[in-house]
Amino acid sequence: MCGLAGLALRQGLEPDGATLDALTRALAHRGPDGAGHHVSGPVALAHTRLAIIDLVTGDQPLFAGPAALVANGEVYNYRELREANQLRCATQSDCEPPLHLWRRDGAAFAEALRGMYAIVLQDRAAKQVVLARDPFGIKPLYTAEVAGGIAFASEPQALVAAGLVQPRVRAAARAELLQLQFTTGAETIFEGIHRVLPGETVVISDGAVTERRRRAALPEGGPEVIATEEALLRLDAALEESVALHQRSDVPYGMFLSGGIDSAAVLAMMARLNERPVLAFTAGFDVAGAADERIQAASLAAAAGARHVTVAVTEAMVWRHLPEIVGAMDDPAADYAIIPTWFLARRAREEVKVVLSGEGGDELFGGYGRYRAAMKPWWLGGKTPRAHGSFDRVDVLREAPTGWRDGIGAAEAAAATGGRSRLQAAQALDVADWLPNDLLIKLDRCLMAHGVEGRTPLLDPGVAAAAFRLPDALKVQGHTGKWLLRQWLARHLPAAEPFKPKQGFTVPVGAWIEHVGDRLGPLVAAQPGVAEIARPDRVAALFRHAGGEKHRGFAAWHLLFYALWHRRHVEGRRAEGDVFEVLSGR
Taking the complete model, does pTM exceed 0.95, yes or no? yes
Query: For the packed helices 228-246 and 483-492, what is the interaxial angle rounded to 10 degrees?
Result: 70
255: amino acid identity, one letter: M
Statement: residue 287 has pLDDT above 80 = no
State residue 507's pLDDT score: 86
Cα 9 to Cα 150: distance, rounded to the nearest angstrom: 6
CATH number of 228-496: 3.40.50.620
Among 37-46, 237-246, 461-470, 568-577, where is mean pLDDT lowest?
A: 568-577
Distance, first Cα to last Cα, the chain? 35
d(CA 211, CA 194): 16
| β partners of residue 40 | 43
pLDDT for residue 91 is more than 80: yes
* pLDDT of 171 higher than 90: yes
Backbone angles phi, psi at 294, to 5 degrees: -65, -40
Q: What pLDDT digit, counting tens, does each position of 148-164 carry? A: 999 999 999 999 999 99
Q: Answer yes or no: are the C-beta atoms of 152 and 5 closer than 8 Å.
A: yes
Confidence of residue 378 (pLDDT cuts 50, 70, 90): confident
> What's the rounded Cα separation, in Å, for the pair 483 and 170?
41
Judged by DSSP in three states, 474 sits in helix
Cβ atoms of 185 and 106 closer than 8 Å:
no
For residue 309, pLDDT over 80 is answered with: yes
Predicted confidence (pLDDT) at residue 494 exceeds the cutoff of 90: yes
Q: Over the stretch 500-548, which tens digit does the pLDDT of each residue have? A: 876 666 788 999 999 999 999 999 999 999 999 999 999 999 999 998 8
* SS3 track for 514-580: HHCHHHHHHHHHCCHHHHCCECHHHHHHHHHCCCCCHHHHHHHHHHHHHHHHHHHHCCCCCCCCCHH
Check if the beta carbon of residue 38 is closer than 8 Å to that of residue 122: yes
Q: What is the DSSP letter of 187?
A: B
pLDDT of residue 384: 85
- Chain-centroid distance of CA 361 in Å reads 14
What pLDDT is recorded for position 289? 61
Q: Which one from 2, 89, 95, 446 is the annotated catalytic residue? A: 2
Tell me how far CA of residue 549 lies from CA of 369, 393, 394, 561, in angstroms.
20, 11, 11, 19
Name the CA dihedral angle for 186, 188, 192, 196, rounded to a multiple of 10 degrees: -40
pLDDT at res. 254:
98
In whole angstroms, give the CA distance from residue 105 to residue 557. Answer: 48
Q: Alpha carbon of 500 to those of 282, 360, 464, 486, 507: distances in Å?
A: 20, 20, 25, 10, 21
Percent over 90 (pLDDT), the chain: 91
Mean pLDDT of 363-369: 95
Q: What gap in Å lies between CA 479 and CA 453, rounded to an integer? A: 35
Across the chain, mean pLDDT equals: 95
Backbone phi and psi for residue 410, each to the nearest 5 degrees, phi listed first = -65, -40
Task: Give pLDDT, residue 159.
Answer: 98
Q: What CATH architecture is 2-214?
A: 4-Layer Sandwich (3.60)
Q: Confidence band (pLDDT; 50, 70, 90) for 288? A: low
pLDDT of 285 over the 70 cut = yes
Domain assignments of the chain as residue spans, ordered by start: 2-214, 228-496, 509-584
Question: What would the DSSP string read from start to end of 255-285?
Answer: EE--SSHHHHHHHHHHHHH-SSPPEEEEEEE
**Cis ω on the peptide bond leading into residue 61 (within 30° of 0)?**
yes
Residue 376 has pLDDT above 90, yes or no: no
Q: For strands 307-313 and 128-133, give the pairing.
A: unpaired
Strand partners, 119: 71, 132
What's the whole-number mean pLDDT along residues 90-117? 96
Decide if 458 contacts 266 (C-beta within 8 A).
Answer: yes
Helix (H, G, I), strand (E, B) or coil at 528: helix
Beta-bridge partners for 195: 142
Q: Where are the alpha helices (DSSP H) in 15-152?
A: 17-26, 78-84, 96-105
The pLDDT assigned to 1 comes to: 66
Question: Is 95 known to be catalytic?
Answer: no
Amino acid letter, residue 66:
P
**Residue 586 class from Cβ within 10 Å (0-12 exposed, 13-18 middle, 19+ buried)?**
exposed
pLDDT tier for residue 127 given thresholds of 50, 70 and 90: very high
Q: What share of the chain is helix, strand, coil (3-state, %, to 5)?
A: 40, 20, 40
